[in-house]
Amino acid sequence: MPRDIGVAKTVVPMVMRRMRPPLIVLMSAYAIAVVGLTLVPGQDGQGDPWRTDFFHAFYVITYTAPTIGFGEIPYEFTAAQRMWVTFSIYLTVLAWLYAVGTIISLMQDTAFRAAIQRGRLHRAVRQIGEPFYLICGYGDTGSLLVRALTERRRRVVVIDQAQSAIENLELRDLTVYVPGFQLDAEIPENLLTAGVKQRWCAGVVAVTNSDHANLKIALTSKLQSPRVTMVARADSEEATANIASFGTDAVFNAYDSFAERLCLAIRRPDMHRIQDWLTGIPTTSLPERPQPPEGTWIICGFERLGRAVHRMLRQQGIHTVIVDPTGESDSCPPDAIPGKGTEAQTLRQAGIYSASALLAGTSDDADNLSIVMTARQLNDTIFIVAQENELSSKPLFRAAGVDLAVEPSYILASRILSLLNAPLLEDFLERARGESEEWQAALVQRIRAIAGRTIPETWTLRISAIRCSAVIEALEEGMEVTMKGLVHHPRDRERRLDCIPLLLSRKGEVTLLPPEDTQLARGDRILFCGTDRALGLMRIPLHHIENLRYMLTGESKGEGIIWRFLTQRQKAGRGLPNPRP
Amino acid sequence: MHLEKVIFGFFILLAVTLNFGFVLGEFDNPAHHNVYELFAAIVVSLIATVLKFGERTQIGAVLLAASLVADLQLIAAAIVWAVAVHVVEVGLPPAVMAGIVSLAGGALLANMVSATLLVIETSSLQR
């Protein structure tokens, strides 16, 4: 079967094959009616015997069959002819009803609709002429990602198994058209239809809520199109290892990610802020999260989150007490306290009065809320972390007075987004972790100063002819292009833009926070963070050589023939040039 | 034996035989060419076309094309007949009859191609 499944190749033959019986019935009915009419004896105007010829018989049946009825032509019918025409009407009308009924049932046929939809998806994807991301799974994480990507004017294609998810997508008010289709991403052919092998497919994101589905998506996209960036979500540790084993670019586990961050927040609060802000979803408000304490932690619910946090805290040498209804079974540590944590008795037993923090990490939001409220009543000052399983219960957690909410979908979406948006960011964070606390604190101050109250954008700039034609032109002219030219206002070179160059990568060598006098070279990649406005303003000198010249040297040569002419004239100190010397 | 194949083969062969029967006879003699036979040839040819709908094989596509050619030629012959008799009212002089029969003859060729292809396809299935 051909790979390129167009609508013509599936829908048209399907319609034709289904229309075979009704068309044959219809044609037979017409044929019988026409032949019959030519055979039945009639009379002409003078009462002489006359037989309808084929031409007139076909004409009469043509208008009689859809019950239009122009009358009896060319001569008034005899009783025998009328009898035959009566029979013909019933015959042909029934044939028509059958044909129309078949068409209607075909329209409602699920296979037919699936074929139509597949054709529409195929066309929608083929029409995209810029890089796009394929997002498999439109749940909480998927919808956050779609919103964040489309706000950045990135093209996205969504597929999800559930019709309701696609309907949700269609109701959303997004700035860019997002083709969304109800398809099972586990079937490789569906991924191909959705454009995995397309030239413009920049990345595939597998964020369904089934590890198995994510695994299959990762496998398919890696086998069919190895160059495409593949990012997958994995909930269990086995799935994480499995998906990572065949070259998937990134596998994210929301619970491990959270536990890592929690430890970072406890031990290196400034580094945690940097990471939190740079990987957050831009244009949302800049979070100032309270610092989690180092004392004893009570972990209610030894599930995926509880396990991850327990492991990380242990590594950091922080004492933990576990409360779990399964008790000692299920790999729970032997000193775990049996119970849900929703009753005061269990929490007292776990030492709620002396503990400094509590994690409500069950997979049921009602249980988590109950734990939070009970704990608050018992200990007013305890630091409470709670897992929000569904975005819809967010207001409840806020009202319950949770200090730190764990939103797996937000954590996943922000990590995936930062990877897709700025591939150098992971590198930067890795290196920043190795820097001193003073360095980190200073960077936090700088970011806070430029970002204000919203999460800053992060972006990567590559010095290439396509991305910044003016810089390449200037370099070829032999000019020295420094970072200074990029981080100032294009109309006022003394004014700094609200952005920070975080990292410069040149031929595998990496510089953290490159200073303003850094000289740029072809092939450099620079990671910036800053405001949306700064990103827009920075683009101006990148493509306009005169503006870049002004930024670098302070002089403006003027661009275009007229300006250049006027400037030259001004420099020469002459009046109007004489056309005839 | 497959009923669907029987019906398919039946209509294709019937289209050839009816067409042949109509063309048979003196070329320009209206008495040798029956209008009912032309009508039957058209109807059977149309049904044969519909039966070939939705075939995805290469040979299926060629069969459909041959059938469409036959339909076109036969319908053209019928239109010539109707125009001559009812519109311009010249009846069926030898020149008109020759035109009708030659159009039907073209259709016969297309129908024979269909039948040949059917035989080829059938024999290639037998091992």
Contact A53 B86 (CB under 8 A): yes
Q: Is the ipTM of this complex over 0.90?
A: no
Give the HSE-up count for residue A233: Cα atoms under 13 Å, Cβ half-sphere: 29
| CB atoms closer than 10 angstroms to residue A483 | 18
Contact B78 A54 (CB under 8 A): yes
Min Cα separation A39/chain B (Å):
10
Interface mutation vs chain B, best among A15, A55, A56, A58, most B CBs within 10 Å = A55
Report the predicted TM-score, pTM, of the whole model to 2 decimal places: 0.67
Maximum pairwise Cα distance, chain B: 57
The pLDDT, as a whole number, for residue A236 is 82
The four Cα atoms B83, B84, B89, B92 give a dihedral, to 10 degrees, of -150
| Average pLDDT value for chain B | 90
In chain B, what residues touch A56 (CB-CB under 8 Å)?
86
DSSP assigned state of A392: G
CB A139 within 8 A of CB A389: no
**Residues B45-83: pLDDT tens digits?**
999 999 888 777 788 889 999 999 999 999 999 999 999
Give the HSE-up count for residue B33: Cα atoms under 13 Å, Cβ half-sphere: 29
CB A537 within 8 A of CB A489: yes
Contact A17 B86 (CB under 8 A): no
- Closest by Cα among A110, A521, A564, A499 to A282: A499
A111 lies within 8 A of chain B by CB: no
* Of A32-41, A145-154, A239-248, highest mean pLDDT: A32-41
The percent of residues above 70 in pLDDT, for chain A, comes to 93
> Is the pLDDT score of A110 beyond 90?
no
Q: Nearest residue on chain B to A22, judged by CA atoms? A: B50
- Cα angle: A440, vertex A481, A564; to 5 degrees: 140
- Closest by Cα among B65, B68, B74 to B19: B74
Those residues whose C-beta lies under 8 Å from the C-beta of residue A419, and which sit 6 or more positions away, are A229, A231, A249, A250, A425, A426
**Residues A253-291: pLDDT tens digits?**
888 888 888 888 888 888 888 888 888 877 778 887 888
The pLDDT, as a whole number, for residue A5 is 45
In chain B, what residues touch A22 (CB-CB under 8 Å)?
none
**Residues A47-81: pLDDT tens digits?**
889 888 899 999 999 999 888 878 888 888 888 99
A233's tokens: 């979500």
- Verify cis geometry, omega within 30 degrees of 0, for the bond prior to A74: yes
Those residues whose C-beta lies under 8 Å from the C-beta of residue A87, and which sit 6 or more positions away, are A33, A36
In order of their start, the domains of chain A are 7-108 (1.10.287), 129-252 (3.40.50.720), 264-421 (3.40.50.720), 453-565 (3.30.70.1450)
CB A174 within 8 A of CB A146: yes
Residue with tokens 């031929």: A507
Report the pLDDT averaged over residues A236-249. 83
More confident residue, A292 or A326: A292
Min Cα separation B106/chain A (Å):
22
A306's tokens: 């509880």
Of A13, A16, A54, the CB nearest to B35: A54
Q: Nearest residue on chain A to B60, judged by CA atoms? A: A13
Those residues whose C-beta lies under 8 Å from the C-beta of residue A158, and which sit 6 or more positions away, are A135, A138, A142, A146, A166, A169, A178, A179, A180, A181
As a whole number of angstroms, the distance between CA A4 and CA A125 comes to 12
